[in-house]
Amino acid sequence: MTASTTFGCDVANVVYERGQRQAFCGLAGIVWLHRKIQDAFFLVVGSRTCAHLLQSAAGVMIFAEPRFATAILQERDLAGMADCNQELDRVVAEVLGRRPDIKSLFLVGSCPSEVIKLDLNKAAERLSAQYQGRVQVFDYSGSGLDTTFTQGEDTCLLALVPHLPALPATERNLLILGTLPDVVEDQFTRLFTELGINTVHFLPPRRIEALPPVGAGTTLLLAQPFLGETARALQKRGATLLTAPYPFGVEGTLGWLRAATEAWGIAAERLDAVTAAPIARAQQALSRQRALLSGKRITFLPDSQLEIPLARFLARECGMELVEVATPFLERQLMAPELALLPAGVRLTEGQDLEAQLERLRTDRPDLTVCGLGLANPLEAEGLRTKWSIELVFSPVHGFDQAADLAELFARPLVRGALLQV
């Protein structure tokens, strides 16, 4: 970042593209959701393709029994020759019989189950009544029809909102929305406690019985930018949404914490005192990665909806040059603070016309391209260095202490590429 750089992306100059898309479906969200909600089981009602996708994305170890599975729809199910609800009830009974530790069961819809119009909402109601007191049953759609893979978390958390307890009218709490690794959640909890905010809850919780309360006294702060539907549902239940940068890097984390402290009336001096040491550690750790990334050119292809806040971090804190920043969907309200921090004139694209974007990419030849798994290997074969966007979703990358780790994820393919050329 040079002294002459100006910031503030003009949303009027956003290019909207519609055409062929390349993205994972929302089932991929199960990979990090099942790790977070420790007493939950995710049962996908789908095809063998769905099962293979989950197994590949999760990298299941042979010694671990995962808390997700696929109830595979056979040809008789798709042809309407079998009673899918009876089969589903049988599979659920088998799962709960094997896993008595499970306290919540998510029925996850897929493209095949939606095509045959299988009503998982009714199935969840029926199974909830059948297993009342034993397990809570929820349902949501992980279908890849016209969605991107992070929206699976949004539809999952949206399904939980009606079940959140009511916050008493005389009480107040801070609700952090978005899946965070436990270590990051613990770090943020300590920071909020030091700042004087003691009633902090997280959605999703680690266990289903710890669903956070929500009401008029709830202040809502998003940790992930792809949860717009859940945020709006929480606002309908009385929560007040704070707009802030997302907690990626030093600048984003500080701005995120500042939004909370201002809402709670905490003095700026206290925020400065509490964050001084972690900021100093983060900046020192970032210096090595900044030396590797500064001046390098990067393009984001649309995939995770993390593209804009990550681009802001890389441009402002790591000195990278943004060639193009493309995102599947651009929610103006949720992204306003981030857009204000992007370099002016950056090429910003919403949506995807795959062939057109690939043509621009081949012309631009950036040093690094952030993209989905399906594009990474073909681009590498063309001599373009890539970074998988899905890795940025389930890695611990939020907060001060993870700022250098986040930068390293982008530096690693550049270092590997340099070594291969030796």
Q: Is 224 helix (H, G, I), strand (E, B) or coil?
A: coil
Is 50 known to sit in a ligand binding site? yes
Packing angle, helices 332-339 and 307-317, rounded to 10: 10
Terminal CA-CA length for the chain: 29
Which tokens in the block code for residue 194? 């030091």
SS (H, E, C) 29-95: HHHHHHHHCCCEEEEEEECHHHHHHHHHHHCCCCCCCCCEEEEECCHHHHCCCCCHHHHHHHHHHHH
Read off the DSSP letter of residue 100: T
Amino acid identity of residue 146, one-letter, is: D
Look at phi and psi of residue 371 and say left if phi exceeds 0, alpha if psi is from -120 to 50, else beta: beta
Half-sphere exposure of 288 (CA within 13 A, CB side): 12
CA 343 to chain centre: 24
Question: Do 20 and 302 form a contact (C-beta atoms < 8 A)?
Answer: no
* Distance (Å, whole) CA 21 – CA 191: 40
Binding-site residues for [4Fe-4S] cluster = 25, 50, 111
Binding-site residues = 25, 50, 111
